Amino acid sequence: PHVRTVLLRGATEQGYAFYTNYDSQKGNDLAQNPYAELLFYWQEQERQIRISGRVEKISKAESTDYYHKRPRDSQIAAHISTPQSGVIESRELLQQRFQELQNRVEGKVLDKPEFWGGYVLIPDYYEFWQGRPNRLHDRLSYIKQDQSWVIQRLMP
């Protein structure tokens, strides 16, 4: 497994949404193993929440809708930064590709690339952690079983 930071773009009763290049390392990882975790950490409050679950692609319509709400430069960047995490000769070449596409599509609607879209993590596990000075931290887990959640206190 690989770890990375993603931008949370939605939280609903269904789950937690983020968007990316489907051909990226994370897209390839999720195609091979559609399970992931989210971690939210607040150092000043000594709190964190872990959320685990299955990850599924969201609909093309939802991805397209979100894509068109993004800043224009972000739309252009999604088109030119493929293959994502691939090697590029220089920063100048990347900027040149950006400028060329920007000039070519000026005044036009830019379609969402087929290789770009959203995922939703559908939670089946939550863990809430509250740090304590004596290291007797509070940890509570919520595990989805059938249609309900089982709550357990965990050892620190």
* Residues annotated as part of the active site: 135
Rounded Cα distance between 29 and 37, Å, is: 13
Q: Angle, to 10 degrees, between the axis of helix 91-104 and the axis of helix 72-80?
A: 120
H/E stretch holding 25: helix 25-32
Reduced to 3 states, what is the DSSP secondary structure of residue 119? strand
CA distances from 97 to 31, 136, 142 (A): 29, 54, 47
